Structure 1
Amino acid sequence: MITVGQHVLSLADFNDIVFKQKPVTLSPSALTKIETNFKFLQSFSSNKLIYGINTGFGPMAQYKVSEENLLALQYNLIRSHSSGSGNLLTVRQTRAVMVARLNSLIQGFSGIHTDIVELLVTLINKDVTPCIFEHGGVGASGDLVQLAHLGLVLIGEGEVIYKGSIQPTSEVYESLGIKPLSIHVREGLATINGTSAMTGIGMINIVQGHKLLGWSAILSAMTNEVVEAYDDHFSHELNIVKHHKGQNRIALMLRDILKGSKMIRNRSEHLYRPDNIDQEIFEDKVQEYYSLRCVTQVLGPIHDTIVNAEEVLTNELNSVNDNPVIDHVNQNVFHGGNFHGDYVSLEMDKLKIAITKLSMLSERQLNYLVNDKLNQKFPPFVNLGVLGFNFGMQGVQFTATSTVAENQTLSFPMYVHSIPNNNDNQDIVSMGCNAAIMTSKVIDNTFAVLAIQMMTVLQAIDYLKCQDRLAPHTLSVYNAIRAFFPVFVEDTPKYKDVERVKQFLETNDPNID
């Protein structure tokens, strides 16, 4: 059970709720704070002009709304902005959006009734998932369209995914005895005016980004291992003279993964022997290709990018990100733009660029393994069958190459792609939700690329019959995946194998910390 509102919600807490589906409960002290905040707004808003309570929204804010229409105004806002299109967010992404919105509202500066946070907890715990579309929000005034679809479900309308199928919200509520939300003052605006869609999806991206980094380190280590590379490029001594935390962290990871390997070579023992100096041409390569030798320098900045994104997104997750801020502590209502998603947008752009580079490293290591002219160790395409008759990993390399190419195109930044809209009221926007969704696509693509590389590395191990020389950690990875992806010689369709290995990487922790 995870208590929301009791302390800062960490990435680990988020992971427990969204990925492990641990139930949620609300902090009693946080509920008390929400009640105090709500009563303050009720009193303070009497005879005052406050945006979104007795005015229209956006460029329509200059129009006063009559007393008898105040509550209907909030319903109109939700219904009118439920205008998304494209694919639905995944169930996991939508659960993440709900957690992010709940954690913002629980801060107690949104002027809401406790009904809304209690309903969100009920939906999360009962696995009732609103149908939210990918397209719609521009990421300033928050994720208006995506969160409007959440609001539509809160008031008992629209559709939800429940028990694996799309069903009318009203029918699911009736079957579960759930009462739709009744608007009290500003629950409509408080629901849709925030960064919770981009933040929730972004937090998932960070969880999966950490996982990709771990698997990339393992695959880089295994690739170095099967080609019997030298150990100095990931040594403490070489990396410590470059003062980047990420680079040194990756170097340590590689050393831990390869501890006990009988294949990684020590340069002193092989190349520093006196008899080598008399040779005109060295049979051994003095230095490996960059995709093998520069792993710490390539994955290091990716590590640091993920760590920085985690800090920024966790701050956003625990922030009040709607407008205006209802401040019962200072007895005032402050108008501004906490709904603006630039922090998230910029971090998602940086993250997707970093993950794209990770996929590029994987593709180059894959190319090294399948190209016999480069590795001079394996048959073409690590083909364990008859050359010319069988094809080995030739077909799946095309998939890896085309997928990395798509990642490179998707890596154009959304952060600098503001388009004014809303009658130019929103004249500079973040496109944060677009950035987060595109990053999730890059991450999904990259798991597929790493799956293809993993399949190739395993075939290389079987070609060498070197299982007894592998490091204990890499051998455990080999055994875990060979349990459902056996060695192959004859050509068979590989698309289901790619998907199975991909799902393994997505759902299993690399366990290298």
Structure 2
Amino acid sequence: MIQVGGTKLSLKDFEEILLYKKPIALDKAAIERVQASFDFLKQFSNHKLIYGINTGFGPMAQYKVSDDNILQLQYNLIRSHSSGGGTVLNPLLGRAVMIARLNNHLQGYSGVHLELVELMTAMINADLVPCIYEHGGVGASGDLVQLAHLALGVIGEGEVWYQGQLMPAAQGFELAGLKPLQVHIREGLSLINGTSAMTGVGLLNIIRAHKLVDWSVTLSAITNELMEVYDDHFSHELNIVKHHKGQNYIAAAFRDVLAGSQMIRSRSEHLYNPENIQHDVFEDKVQEYYSLRCVTQVLGPVYDALVQAENTVVNELNSVNDNPVVDVANQNIFHGGNFHGDYVSFEMDKLKIAITKLTMLSERQLNYFLNSRLNQKFPPFVNLGVLGFNFGMQGIQFTATSTTAENQTLSFPMYVHSIPNNNDNQDIVSMGFNAAQLTKKVIDNAYEVVAIQAMTLLQAVDYLECQEKMSPKTKAVYDALRNIFPKFVEDSPLYKSLAKVRTWLEANAPATIYG
């Protein structure tokens, strides 16, 4: 069981709760902070005008609300802003949003009743997840529409996912043995006013991107191995003189994956040996194409961008991101804009650009193997059948090319795409949730392209019959993937195989295959 609210949640903690459904429990100190915050807000708000307690919201804040209506005000806020469009987020994404929102409340600056954090904890443990729609949030006042749908489910209205099944909220609460929330003071505003939707989706993007980078390193290594490249471009000596952590991380990973390979060649042995250079023209390229030779320089910045995104979005996960901030220590309530999603929006834009570049690298390596005039080693489209009669990987290359092109278009940043709204109260916004959702789409697409590359490499290994010359780690990947996608010679539809390979890559990290 993971204690939440005591120390900062790490990405690993978040992953354990989200993907592996490890139960959570509230930290004792966090419970005390939440209670103290609620007690202070209740006392402090008497005979004062405080935004969201006894006023309207946004540009309607100049209107005072009578004491008789302050609880109904919170329900009105939730219901009126539950106005999302597009598709419903899958329950995994909804669960990610819930975890992020709970962790915000546990900081003890929200003035919510203890019942809220206890209920959200119970809902996460029971896998009871409100339905959240993808369209609506502009990312300042936070993810208002997405989080309003979260709040709607918490008060027992709308629809929920219960253990993966979609149903009316009342039915889901009954099956889970839970009771919906009754608002006390400002639970409505505190639920919907923050960055937890973009943060939850952003963290899942980062988890998936880490695995994607690992697969890109592994498949790039196999690509180089099958082409019997020279080893200096991923050597420690060449890369260490470039002072970037990402490049040297990728180079070290590359060397690790290829350790023990009998196919990688030494430049010193082959080209620096006078006995081997008695020709004026060499069939082998002295230097490989950039998509093979420059992997550390291409994936290095991708890795660095991913690390930066992780640090920033984990900071956001552990931050107070609603408004106003109920500060017990200073005995005051501070109004501002901690709900603004620029930090997450900017990192998601940078991450999707990085993953698009990864996709482009994969597509170029794929094209290199499919074009016999480039590689001068494999039949066209790595066709193991009869040329002209069979087609090998020819058809599926179109899917990789078009998907890569889509990623390139999707990489236009949301961060610089602010549109004023809300009677111009929100005159500059982050579009953070849109940025996180587009990054998710880019990552989805990247897995598709990488899966096609993996399928092609398997066919190439079988053409060369070089399995026993591969490194132990690349051979383990080959064996595992061949259980998913068997060798083919005669043409058959590949779309189901593509779906299987992609699903498998998403579910398995290379390190678990190496043993």
Residue 511 of structure 1 aligns to a residue in which SS?
A: helix
Find the counterpart in structure 2 of residue 490 from structure 1: 490
> Which deviates further from its counterpart, 344-353 or 166-175?
166-175
Q: Work out whether 1:180 is the aligned partner of 2:180.
A: yes
Find the counterpart in structure 2 of residue 364 from structure 1: 364
Q: Read off the aligned partner of 1:125 and give its amino acid letter.
A: N
**Superposed CA offset, 1:377-417 (max 9, x none):** 00000000010010100011000000000000000000000
Find the counterpart in structure 2 of residue 14 from structure 1: 14
Q: Read off the aligned partner of 1:202 and give its amino acid letter.
A: G
In structure 1, distance between residues paired with 2:2 and 2:162: 22
In structure 2, distance between residues paired with 1:240 and 1:296: 11
Superposed, 1:347-496 pairs within 5 Å as: 347-496=347-496
In structure 2, distance between residues paired with 1:344 and 1:154: 25
Q: Work out whether 1:241 is the aligned partner of 2:241.
A: yes
Provide the aligned C-alpha RMSD in A.
0.9
Superposed, 1:230-269 pairs within 5 Å as: 230-269=230-269
TM-score by length of 1: 0.99
How far apart are residue 178 of structure 1 and its match? Answer: 1.2
**Superposed CA offset, 1:203-255 (max 9, x none):** 00000110010000000000000010110000000000010000000000000
Find the counterpart in structure 1 of residue 87 from structure 2: 87
Q: Read off the aligned partner of 1:251 and give its amino acid letter.
A: A
In structure 1, distance between residues paired with 2:157 and 2:395: 48
Q: Read off the aligned partner of 1:224 and give its amino acid letter.
A: N
How far apart are residue 277 of structure 1 and its match? Answer: 4.1
Find the counterpart in structure 2 of residue 128 from structure 1: 128
Find the counterpart in structure 2 of residue 162 from structure 1: 162
Q: Work out whether 1:30 is the aligned partner of 2:34.
A: no
How far apart are residue 483 of structure 1 and its match? Answer: 1.1
In structure 1, distance between residues paired with 2:284 and 2:49: 79
In structure 1, distance between residues paired with 2:511 and 2:432: 31
Find the counterpart in structure 2 of residue 325 from structure 1: 325
In structure 1, distance between residues paired with 2:479 and 2:269: 30
Q: Read off the aligned partner of 2:229 and give its amino acid letter.
A: A
Conserved? CA contact 2:161–2:172, under 8 Å:
no
How far apart are residue 130 of structure 1 and its match? Answer: 1.0
TM-score by length of 2: 0.99
> Which deviates further from its counterpart, 344-353 or 483-492?
483-492
In structure 2, distance between residues paired with 1:221 and 1:426: 48
> Which deviates further from its counterpart, 458-467 or 167-176?
167-176
Find the counterpart in structure 2 of residue 144 from structure 1: 144
How far apart are residue 481 of structure 1 and its match? Answer: 0.8
In structure 1, distance between residues paired with 2:18 and 2:32: 26
Segments of structure 1 that go 5 or more residues without pairing to the other structure are: none
> Which deviates further from its counterpart, 164-173 or 402-411?
164-173
In structure 2, distance between residues paired with 1:467 and 1:189: 60
Find the counterpart in structure 1 of residue 43 from structure 2: 43
Find the counterpart in structure 2 of residue 97 from structure 1: 97
How far apart are residue 163 of structure 1 and its match? Answer: 3.9
How far apart are residue 276 of structure 1 and its match? Answer: 4.2
How far apart are residue 361 of structure 1 and its match? Answer: 0.1
Find the counterpart in structure 1 of residue 68 from structure 2: 68
In structure 1, distance between residues paired with 2:52 and 2:220: 54
Q: Read off the aligned partner of 1:384 and give its amino acid letter.
A: L
In structure 2, distance between residues paired with 1:363 and 1:145: 37
Segments of structure 2 that go 5 or more residues without pairing to the other structure are: none
> Which deviates further from its counterpart, 398-407 or 265-274?
265-274
Conserved? CA contact 2:11–2:203, under 8 Å:
yes
Find the counterpart in structure 1 of residue 59 from structure 2: 59
Total equivalences in the alignment = 513
Find the counterpart in structure 2 of residue 110 from structure 1: 110
In structure 2, distance between residues paired with 1:93 and 1:153: 15
In structure 1, distance between residues paired with 2:483 and 2:171: 44
Find the counterpart in structure 1 of residue 284 from structure 2: 284
Q: Read off the aligned partner of 1:301 and give its amino acid letter.
A: P
Residue 483 of structure 1 aligns to a residue in which SS?
A: helix
Q: Read off the aligned partner of 1:298 and give its amino acid letter.
A: V
